[in-house]
Structure 1
């Protein structure tokens, strides 16, 4: 799968074939761009590195700030002013610490440092990025877990330079550029420089080695060179007092001369940054050895999922989705700058709302030990900062996304408890889970039985249910009874006359987008809507069955255009996250055939190859991991130990699960085409035993085995009677 990945997918505005069928009725309110970047990344690593144009939001690319519709161009061609570190992946926002330590190879004078060069060519693969500038300099970058290694090849020139700018980061858009609050920089010895900047209260340290032994090493301030060996200390930097500063190596370059710059990073000082670099590079410490190690790690992970198809394009799109699912969050053990003890630390959790339904379950299958580490990091943040984070980046303060959701870490903890994974102190977890449910709008939920927006009522009720799983595991019957009672308050969010959520101000969507979430008691949810037929009718209207095609927002859409689109009450077609689980709501009403039709439309019309191959922001892999599961014929119900089944998008697949290898086979499979016919499930077996229900317990599927689907071109009776469980009270039968 490694050789099939195209890291450029999603880096430019959406370019997909004109949709047909029900897919043509879905409306996209959010930016029509993946917001990914092709830079060098290590799986779940702390560091990324990429060409820097200042574009929104990763620092790479062509676009200005964009929150709706087709993104507006900032540049008319691919350009760069150098190569920066720490990029988001697929999100719609940025924090201040991104894109610092810009490395710029030059044959121009230092005064031209802030200019841009055209990118004549670009190449990328997992863990590797390469570009050629229009001045003839060739650049390559690779990364380790906490390091980056740059290699530059110069044309013949009497005054070549490698310049590292410590002074600015962020983006080249209005109010997007940032500066450090404090900084220090010192030359340690020839070829070695170290320093630290403080951004948003975070001390970001770097230790740098350069192998250009015969070049001069200099610090510079305000583009003036400083004597060798001098130290630069800036105790208070303000926008009015900022002058650019950094370091430089300069010398005569022979034709094709190669210069390596090796950088170790830490949030705990330059000594740890040095140790991180040397640990990442090993004894030989070269670009080639680091690249080989990173490639080997990527190959091992990407080979954990394989699919069978003769269509190279479909394999590429799938492999890239797996790759994008493994970039974030950033794991940085022993690196917290906010507390001194060792232990797990993660950042770029951007955000739980984006990743809890699909990406974290995928990581649980592929790397269960890392997900336990992630869970413990979340619990440590709760202990140190007061609550379980909704989003967490490399900045103090975890609760910065309160409008998105609440109690979402609870779903992950419930799934880990169901699987019986070791390494979590469940008494400790229970304390923080219960405390978290009572903060801010949790108080409103306690006092009046609901919280605004109404989607938070669903979050909190489900959070109580997931905490009930832990209470049951611990044998705390009193806490379990209380949580079951609180979990039943999901009903307060719904209007029984419409069968939909009550009117409220919803985050990035309307009540329609949130009305079909998979709850813990879907049987009661369907009854509230008037029964199976009424519920299916609501779903059919939401997914646009029988509706006319819609026109998507264009560039800089106006308020009235957006209001008219939202008024449709339509599915977002994976342009955004609020309704990504809604296709499987049909399962609970005995209509898995409808799920098959909707998922088919998404998989084969909303994703494609090339830079415009994503329908919306990838959001740290939330979108890509949805695609991975959908292609495999599985959908994880986060927190409930369930996988819902639907027709796979490949004839066969193999996947590493938490406790074994799963082989997926689709008998009767026909290679699909966009807008082509849908296939339906006629029967399913697991290791030869019939599966009459439209679901399988996660604790069973994670053991591995052979999951065999028999497909046909018309629906049958499979899944109509044996529906997924509705469990108002967590049941012992779902626990291992």
Structure 2
């Protein structure tokens, strides 16, 4: 088992400055960069700054195993590269801008060389250490758009090489046509010994066309020899006497080999989406010549402490909970990538963020927490998405390598914009444009031929709502379209988002239309379909009526009626119409029993843990908290805490599923805080906090202070709310709003105990799409 080692001794800068005061506590000591790197979590353990373009880490090959973030616990090093995603599944992306240290005579540099791992990797925030099977120590550090390698070659070795192979990408072995491609590149060694390189790549999970990344690299010592090469997969590498190699072919690789007599060599590399000049400028701005390796490491630690980790402070001393808290904060702030000033697609004065992976994963928990903890980044992110619509025609549901795609369900940027709007986010956001972008999603089907998706050829997965023609014609989605049932759940929620913004802008006709459309999930509700004693489920349907499935076993993938969750899971999805759902499931008592059944061992023998509830994927994030809608807040506390404590831990397999750019971590953070956000509304459902004291820095000298008495301080026992005060006043409802505690700061004072009590006697949480009489 690998663990973290404590070895080391551009528009969002406004937010950074706001939090840049020196911290008395080094919160990075509590971050385990290897948490969730195995067991399907796919966390990125390398080095990066908050939202940085550079994510510098190892790429490992192990026969037939996809390395989504570059890292594997076993296998051979194929390179140490500057670009990675964080915690994603589907298929690998990036693994570009490489270096690889090698010892000895290298006769064929561009032959996809790998080298075994010599010892377990080690790392902490801002620092990564690996050892190759040739006994080369590789240490990594990173700024936002540049990174630094430090190599220690074996004593006595005189043939110390650093290979730069521009054909390097993270491969995929899944056989689904999602493997990344190399389409050519350039490599030039200049008289002063530095190199400038570029590579053209394509495909990956979002099926993007060709994109180019530029890099600029310097070494701190002069190489004995430095040669540019061309090569092919079927032949050897050929040295280029000019010191420059180029190719516009996927069959011809380019790169360089630098050989040193020194045993300690460092390298500085900058990257850019724009040009070689910009890559060199980024490097010299962030890691100028003469910068000590330790300075870069400490700069990264300070950035994480001041900008991210210090946003939540607690008095707990429990080591496990501190590690869970600050590791979760760390991993949720690696993406999206702030590429402001690095947009190759168009010129704009707006911020630019990419590597949105994906809003289908993030809209339920992550974007709401990003708003609370990083309000400046959040506003910039919203502005960036609207700007993408201005120049490319649609809001992104996902985006990587400056290209939208893939859309798994609905146009979930609509949910994110609606959430920002109803919570009063204004700043420099043009909400007329924001609403126009949402209307485009809701009214104009995307082009199905750009690009065709062989895994879902019925409709575009690039952006927008591919099944919109059925939604507009029928108010439901027929099996003509893949993922028809789960898309219907999403589309209804998306339309509710349009209702919220239309209402806020005074567009009453639109508001009425989209509110009615947000109820169209009901057209997929078969009240007669029964599963283990319960009736009523979301099902696929056509113009003739319902098409029944087995709700326990109908979870599927791209070509199926339900995407990555079952009908049991998706039937809870449209939380904006929960009043209807409670009644259609048989009333509060049956609703309670049905929720309990989600967590009952033995209810689903087909699952490894025997329960229906699926902790591995986002569609069920809200399920443990839905008891609040029938005034059984105690059950929300019990079930959500069981999920948190059972499926999350500090080990390398400490996540229940893919991190998905921090989605899993934000669910856990909300559980620690004691609230759950209802995206698209100002509502937060109350459960109970883990700690005796938790202070959230909201920016602008605002804070939310959450305290509890009567608990054990770790969230393990005495978890039930006995009473609550909000801003010093007794609180009698099991929910609150953004304005209550976040807009201006506030306090929440919990009294906890070992047994449930009915402390909440006020109104139930809102169900705004439910008619007065259902």
TM-score, normalising length: structure 2: 0.82
Report whether the alignment pairs 1:533 with 2:589: yes
Query: What's 1:634 paired with?
Result: 675
- 1:399 Cα deviation after fit: 3.6
**Where does 1:676-715 land on structure 2 (aligned, <5 Å)?**
677=717, 679-702=719-742, 703-715=744-756
Distance 1:292 1:284, change over 3 A: farther
SS for the counterpart of 2:564 is: coil
From 330, 342, 346, the equivalent of 2:337 is 330
Distance 1:685 1:161, change over 3 A: same
Aligned counterparts of 1:583 and 1:532: Cα–Cα separation in 2: 15
Aligned counterparts of 2:748 and 2:468: Cα–Cα separation in 1: 41
Aligned counterparts of 1:536 and 1:84: Cα–Cα separation in 2: 50
Q: Is the 8 A contact 2:372 2:698 kept in 1?
A: yes
Query: What's 1:447 paired with?
Result: 473
Query: What's 2:704 paired with?
Result: 662
Aligned counterparts of 2:611 and 2:706: Cα–Cα separation in 1: 35
**Post-superposition CA distance 1:271-312 (Å, at most 9, x none):** 111222222225754433322221111111111112332321
**Post-superposition CA distance 1:162-183 (Å, at most 9, x none):** 1111122122747676442121
Query: What's 1:389 paired with?
Result: 396
Distance 1:339 1:119, change over 3 A: farther
Query: What's 1:407 paired with?
Result: 411
Aligned counterparts of 2:607 and 2:591: Cα–Cα separation in 1: 27
Query: What's 1:734 paired with?
Result: none
Q: Is the 8 A contact 2:43 2:69 kept in 1?
A: no
From 599, 609, 612, the equivalent of 2:640 is 599
Report whether the alignment pairs 1:143 with 2:142: yes
Q: Is the 8 A contact 1:99 1:170 kept in 2?
A: yes
Report whether the alignment pairs 1:213 with 2:213: no
Distance 1:385 1:569, change over 3 A: farther
Distance 1:495 1:658, change over 3 A: farther
Query: What's 2:380 paired with?
Result: 373
Aligned counterparts of 1:552 and 1:722: Cα–Cα separation in 2: 37
Instruction: Supply the RMSD in Å over aligned alpha carbons.
Output: 2.5
**Post-superposition CA distance 1:359-390 (Å, at most 9, x none):** 11111111111111111221222232222222
Aligned counterparts of 1:685 and 1:225: Cα–Cα separation in 2: 74
Query: What's 1:295 paired with?
Result: 301
Q: Is the 8 A contact 1:455 1:493 kept in 2?
A: no
Query: What's 1:106 paired with?
Result: 102
Q: Is the 8 A contact 2:492 2:574 kept in 1?
A: no
From 258, 261, 265, the equivalent of 1:259 is 265
From 77, 81, 86, the equivalent of 2:83 is 86
Query: What's 2:128 paired with?
Result: 129
Aligned counterparts of 1:701 and 1:292: Cα–Cα separation in 2: 34
Distance 1:283 1:214, change over 3 A: closer
Q: Is the 8 A contact 2:69 2:87 kept in 1?
A: no
From 234, 250, 254, the equivalent of 2:259 is 250
Aligned counterparts of 2:270 and 2:712: Cα–Cα separation in 1: 50
Distance 1:58 1:282, change over 3 A: same
Query: What's 2:442 paired with?
Result: 437
**Where does 1:186-335 land on structure 2 (aligned, <5 Å)?**
186-200=188-202, 201-213=210-222, 215-222=224-231, 224=237, 226=239, 229-237=242-250, 241-242=251-252, 244-253=253-262, 257-281=263-287, 285-300=291-306, 301-335=308-342
- 1:154 Cα deviation after fit: 2.0
Aligned counterparts of 1:527 and 1:49: Cα–Cα separation in 2: 52
Aligned counterparts of 1:152 and 1:374: Cα–Cα separation in 2: 37
Q: Is the 8 A contact 1:212 1:249 kept in 2?
A: no
Q: Is the 8 A contact 1:278 1:285 kept in 2?
A: no
Aligned counterparts of 2:695 and 2:436: Cα–Cα separation in 1: 39
From 536, 543, 546, the equivalent of 1:499 is 536
Q: Is the 8 A contact 2:115 2:134 kept in 1?
A: no
Distance 1:112 1:719, change over 3 A: farther
Distance 1:547 1:307, change over 3 A: farther
- 1:699 Cα deviation after fit: 2.7
**Post-superposition CA distance 1:655-696 (Å, at most 9, x none):** 1235521111111012558xx656211111122112211111
SS for the counterpart of 1:184 is: strand
Distance 1:61 1:288, change over 3 A: closer
Query: What's 1:424 paired with?
Result: 429
Aligned counterparts of 2:397 and 2:290: Cα–Cα separation in 1: 41
SS for the counterpart of 1:56 is: coil
Which structure ranks higher in relative contact order (CA pairs < 8 Å, sequence separation ≥ 6)?
A: 1
Aligned counterparts of 1:548 and 1:363: Cα–Cα separation in 2: 36
Q: Is the 8 A contact 1:517 1:585 kept in 2?
A: no
From 179, 182, 185, the equivalent of 2:184 is 182
- 1:448 Cα deviation after fit: 0.7
Q: Is the 8 A contact 2:54 2:142 kept in 1?
A: yes
In structure 1, list runs of 5 or more residues that go unmatched.
14-32, 64-76, 554-564, 732-736
Q: Is the 8 A contact 1:375 1:413 kept in 2?
A: yes
Distance 1:286 1:677, change over 3 A: closer
**Where does 1:610-629 land on structure 2 (aligned, <5 Å)?**
610-629=651-670
Distance 1:614 1:112, change over 3 A: farther
Q: Is the 8 A contact 2:167 2:184 kept in 1?
A: no
